[in-house]
Each structure stands twice: as structure tokens, then as C-alpha cells.
């Protein structure tokens, strides 16, 4: 059976109302200072940065976001009987909300739906933490040990979980088709997966508004809007057709 690996980046979720980071309307372009809120050293050393980070999380567009046509198309590909694994750089959980089995989603950069203690590593729901913020705790400490809580996402300055990366690498080497969608393929090590897939014989498809460093390795690059382009591509792939 053909294994389809899908590497998804911020671009797949923009139709759901979640802005990307580096695009024309990206968060970092609009407010370069915002990058500090998700940079580990700043976050750990500055209580004011943490307070601002909690407020950013509280008002995040992702809490009201719903899966869009692209997320639903990926879940639909799995339901059609195709072997699918998603390697996502996103932390919004929308692939799972669209109906894709959680065990088939590898969250390379963690999840924004949980928090983790930086001291004892206890995990709990983001919803619980935000309810504490709403109740007046500007920087809620860990309920277990009193340590600093952070989103269970990989911040700038943190390494990816080696076990998560190893799982993504194994899927990449085993797949016959690798689709990179909504990602600039510039953030390592996730970006390198596209090249590794090709080295191991996979067909590469790139669906992204802007050129990527891996376009020349792709069997097909698609610049159309992701909400229509990805469903069409996955329909072709499930039917066993070429480009």
C-alpha cells in the first residue's frame, strides 16, 4: 500500500483564520517584538514577557478556529483507505479536529492545547491554565511544583523532541509520496524532510504560495490557494493518477 506523508505548515491553517508567521500579514512582520514571547530564554528570564505571552494565548485566534477544506481533505484521504501520516509544524490541533486519527499526526513543534511545567514536566490542558489567567493569575505557576508553566510547544531556542523527530524521519524514509503544504521549507530540521523523502525514492509535491528551496526536487509545484489545490491533489493521488 502506498504511504502518503504530508508535511503541513502554517499556510494550511490561514483559511481557518490563524495567521502565519513570516508571510505578508505574518505575526513576526507585524510585530517583531512578538517573537520574544515565544523565545525560550526571554520567556524564562522575564516575568513581563510571560504575562504578555499568557495574554497572547488568551486572545489567540486558534481557539475559535475550525478545520478548513484542506484539513478535511487530508482526513478524507485517510478515510478512503490510503495510508496517511501527517507531520505538522503547526500547534493548532486542526488536523485532529478534522477527524484524522491523533496517532497518525506527528506534531513536530508540539501542541498549543496543553501546557508543561519547565521544572517537573507535568502536563495539563491549556484550557485549565487560561481559566486561571481569566481568574486573575497573570503568570500561573505549576499546580504540582510551583515551577514556570509554558505552552507545550517548541519555542525558539528549544530543540525538537528527538523521539518525535525520529518518528517523523522514519515515516519520511518509508513513504512513497511526500506532500509539503503551506510551508516555506526553511525552518530546520523539518524542512530537510522533503529532501530526505526524495533521497529515499518518494515523489515530492509542493503546495505553497511562494517558492521553496526544494521546488527543483519536486515532481510538481502548485501555487494555487491551498483550500482548493490540496483537495484536488489528494483526490488525484487517491485515484492513483500522476500529476
Domain with CATH 3.40.50.1220 in the chain: 1-18+67-109+160-243
* Overall average pLDDT of the 202-225 stretch: 96
For residue 5, is pLDDT > 70? yes
What pLDDT score does 102 carry?
94
What pLDDT score does 35 carry?
82
54, 138 in Cβ contact below 8 A?
yes
What pLDDT score does 196 carry?
97
- According to CATH, what is the number of the domain 19-64+113-153? 3.30.1600.10
Exposed / middle / buried, residue 225 (Cβ in 10 Å: 0-12, 13-18, 19+): middle
Q: How far apart are the C-alpha atoms of 112 and 216, rounded to whole Å?
A: 33
176, 2 in Cβ contact below 8 A?
yes
38, 153 in Cβ contact below 8 A?
yes
* Overall average pLDDT of the 135-146 stretch: 97
Domain with CATH 3.30.1600.10 in the chain: 19-64+113-153
Active site residue 71: no
Catalytic residue among 71, 109, 121, 200: 109
Residue 242 — pLDDT band, cuts 50, 70, 90? very low
What pLDDT score does 169 carry?
98
Q: What is the pLDDT of residues 9-50, one digit of tens each?
A: 999 999 998 876 555 555 555 566 778 888 999 999 999 999
Superfamily of domain 1-18+67-109+160-243 in CATH is TPP-binding domain (3.40.50.1220)
Residue 243 — pLDDT band, cuts 50, 70, 90? very low
Amino acid at each position: 500500500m502506498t504511504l502518503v506523508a504530508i508535511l503541513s505548515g502554517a499556510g494550511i491553517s490561514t483559511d481557518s483564520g490563524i495567521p502565519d508567521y513570516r508571510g505578508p500579514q505574518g505575526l513576526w512582520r507585524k510585530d517583531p517584538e512578538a517573537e520574544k514571547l515565544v523565545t525560550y530564554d526571554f520567556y524564562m528570564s522575564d516575568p513581563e514577557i510571560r504575562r504578555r505571552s499568557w495574554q497572547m494565548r488568551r486572545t489567540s485566534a486558534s481557539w475559535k478556529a475550525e478545520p478548513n477544506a484542506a484539513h478535511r481533505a487530508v482526513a478524507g484521504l485517510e478515510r478512503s483507505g490510503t495510508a496517511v501520516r501527517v507531520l505538522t509544524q503547526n500547534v493548532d490541533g486542526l488536523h485532529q479536529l478534522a477527524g484524522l486519527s491523533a496517532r497518525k499526526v506527528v506534531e513536530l513543534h508540539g501542541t498549543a492545547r496543553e501546557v508543561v511545567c519547565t521544572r517537573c514536566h507535568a502536563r495539563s490542558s491549556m484550557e485549565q491554565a487560561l481559566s486561571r489567567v481569566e481568574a486573575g493569575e497573570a503568570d500561573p505557576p505549576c499546580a504540582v511544583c510551583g515551577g514556570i508553566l509554558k505552552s507545550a510547544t517548541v519555542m525558539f531556542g528549544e530543540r525538537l523532541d528527538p523521539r518525535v523527530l525520529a518518528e517523523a524521519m522514519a515515516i519520511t524514509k518509508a513513504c512513497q509520496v511526500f506532500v509539503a503544504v503551506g510551508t516555506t521549507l526553511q525552518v530546520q530540521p523539518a524542512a530537510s524532510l522533503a529532501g530526505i523523502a526524495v533521497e529515499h525514492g518518494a515523489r515530492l509535491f509542493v503546495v505553497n504560495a511562494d517558492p521553496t528551496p526544494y521546488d527543483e526536487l519536486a515532481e510538481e509545484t502548485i501555487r494555487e490557494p491551498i483550500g482548493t489545490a490540496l483537495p484536488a491533489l489528494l483526490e488525484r493521488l487517491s485515484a492513483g493518477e500522476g500529476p
